[in-house]
Amino acid sequence: MNPVESKQEYQKYVEEKSPNSPIFKNCFNAFWVGGLICTIGQIILNICKERSFDTATSGTIVSILLIGISAFLTGLNLFNKIGKFAGAGSLIPITGFANSIVSPAMEYKSEGYVMGVGGKMFTVAGPVLVFGISASILVGIIYLIFSTQSITLV
Amino acid sequence: MKKIGKQTILFDNPPTILECASIVGPKEAEGPLCKYFDQTLEDEFWGEKSWEKAESKIIKETVNLVISKSGISNQEIDICFAGDLLNQCISSNFGLRDTNVPFFGVFGACSTFVESMSLSAICSESFANYSLCATSSHFCSAEKQFRFPLELGNQRPQSAQWTVTGSGSAIISKTGQGPYITAITPGKIVDMGIKDANNMGAAMAPAFADTLVTHFLDTGRTPNYYDAIISGDLGYVGKDIVIDIMASQGYNIKSNYNDCGILIFDKNKQDTHSGGSGCGCAATVFSGYLYKQLQEKKIKRLLLIATGALMNSTSSHQGESIPGIAHAISIEI
Amino acid sequence: MGDINWASVFDWTSLLKCFVVGGIICIIGQILIDKTKLTPARILVIFVTTGAILGGLGIYQYLVDFAGAGATVPLTGFGYNLAKGAIEGVRQSGLIGAFTGGIKAASGGIAAAIFFGYLAALISKPKMKKQ
């Protein structure tokens, strides 16, 4: 067997040789940490409901609090340790979005407060906003087309 | 100095590696080679405001250290080759701006240290009495430039390597008592189409094998000729691959082959996944550990092959594969 | 603002549903991380876009009704929120609402992330990972 016979052969060979991530352990950790973060959100949500906020406001309060906690933990250099342990468990909840804004902001502090912190803040999270907002505008336009059509049809 | 075979250069008057020095960061200081380094740092900023400044300071202090250890003065150094991983080699440019030595900045990614030593050896055969080589890398500045912010809560893949924080430096002298640089084999760029920037070992392994086989064919030597064949920073993944490739070419290097990236960290305790990497990896392991082994005659014939991945973050965003390079240097006493 | 009824705050069935659904969404993300070579930014983009599409189709609403924060806290929920806001915007003010509605609904989160992000960068310094 000669692994470097051709590029295709070599890529196949490397694929086999490279160590795999411990996926079951990772999924287990992602499950319970992610579930826990959502549950904390639910508890905040329930408290808001008890205090008779409407659904939209309650949701916003949950987001702001979780984002604040995540930013705080990132600032304390703790979030990357949680992230290393939990993987998607801390990345996928809104906490991961906050971390992806705070971490480049901290990283580029050495390049100044305007172009460093201000400019580099969205290097990781920018695409999330671009795609999320664009998708929502498309959804709105499509909804507009369909709803006016149904009106004219009726 | 003469060329033999396809790409190997033999030296008529083999230059001596006069002195070496190394400074490493805190994580490397916790590794198994700790006692071999000249100086270890307590934190990765070393009193500086940014990691880039810290890296410049590390290479600057390492160069000062090797010069003072060797007992020669700055004015006696005829030429200097230095490089690092940061864009436009700013660590070595900034670190050596006050050194007042004729300076060539070189880039060969993680192979830079052997590249510098090879060029120094060639200069020693002509005009240079003393030449200086130095390279550095810094985990934090490299992560910032090539990967993600440090505080981002992501998981590193198992095949990823850990950039060594540290710098190694050597002074090559035209005359001396050894260890001698007897031959060099500059490598060709080899690209086997690996695109995963988290699997550098696999990307660089074919270049390593290519240079090693060429070196054997050019010199007529076999793996047994050397007490140790050491690669720059292929890591655990790359080491496995290289042993397989060499076996398929009819060379058994299992018994005397190892890797700087494997030597510098304790895989189980330090969780560095596939091992160390970076310009500072081969530089510190050679200047610290291997050079002392040569001096104590525990290794008498060493083949050091530093490997480099010749890519940047733009090329990997554009979907390019990773070209590898490997330069070999034969050191004997 | 009366006394809080803690029994309904810690309503076990709602919390359990939230935990399980939120956890499963994260498992999907973890499989993407481990089985593909996608970067974190790409995974977040996939989740937010999927959420917006499922929200626009009205499917994600069922998950939100079932699991509450288990569906809204993951980034798919962020996408759902944007899409829901855009639809409401269209209902209220037509085409212009498609542009204003989404961000209006998610404005609290985005503003908080920017503000807290800047604040955290002001007061703290990145540190090297020990592992």
Could you read off the pLDDT tens digit of each residue along chain B, which spans 333 residues?
899 999 999 999 999 999 999 999 999 999 999 999 999 999 989 999 999 999 999 999 999 999 999 999 999 999 999 999 999 999 999 999 999 999 999 999 999 999 999 999 999 999 999 999 999 999 999 999 998 899 998 888 999 999 999 999 999 999 999 899 999 999 999 999 999 989 999 999 999 999 999 999 999 999 999 999 999 999 999 999 999 999 999 999 999 999 999 999 998 899 899 999 999 999 999 999 999 999 999 999 999 999 999 999 899 889 999 999 999 999 999
Percent of chain C with pLDDT over 90: 76
Instruction: List pLDDT tens digits, range C15-47.
Output: 999 999 999 999 999 999 998 888 889 999 999
Contact between B89 and B158 (Cβ < 8 Å) = no
Q: How far apart are CA B181 and CA A46, in angstroms?
A: 73
Q: What is the mean pLDDT of residues C81-98?
A: 94
Helix or strand run (H / E) with residue B329: strand B324-332
* Closest CA in chain C for residue A76: C124
In words, the CATH class of domain B2-173 is: alpha beta
Instruction: Tell me, yes or no, if the pTM score tops 0.90.
Output: yes
Q: Quick one: tokens of A74?
A: 């990132």
- Structural domain boundaries in chain B: 2-173, 180-332
Identify the band that residue C131 occupies on the pLDDT scale cut at 50, 70 and 90: very low
Q: How far apart are CA B323 and CA C101, in angstroms?
A: 48
* Closest CA in chain B for residue C120: B151
What pLDDT sits at residue C57? 92
Contact call for A74 and B248, based on CB within 8 A:
no
Q: How far apart are CA B291 and CA B181, in angstroms?
A: 12
Identical fold between B2-173 and B180-332: yes
Q: Quick one: tokens of B236?
A: 């655990």
> Is some CB atom of chain A closer than 8 A to the CB atom of B49?
yes
Helix or strand run (H / E) with residue A95: helix A94-107
Question: Testing the interface with C: which of B45, B141, B145, B151 to mutate, by most C Cβ within 10 A?
Answer: B151
* Closest CA in chain C for residue B196: C37
Contact between B284 and B167 (Cβ < 8 Å) = yes
Helix ranges (H only) for chain A are 7-17, 23-50, 55-75, 79-86, 88-91, 94-107, 119-120, 126-153
Q: Cα dist. B315→A20, B95, B112, B311, B320 in Å?
A: 25, 27, 20, 6, 5
CATH 3.40.47.40 is the classification of domain B180-332 = yes
Instruction: List pLDDT tens digits, range A71-128.
Output: 999 999 999 999 999 999 999 999 999 999 999 999 999 999 999 999 999 999 999 9
Using the CB atoms, write b or e for B185-196: b if 16+ within 10 Å: bbbeebbbebeb
What pLDDT sits at residue A1? 63
Q: What is the DSSP string of B174-195?
A: SSSSS-EEEEEEPPPPB-----
Q: How far apart are CA B17 and CA B120, in angstroms?
A: 10
Instruction: List pLDDT tens digits, range A75-88.
Output: 999 999 999 999 99
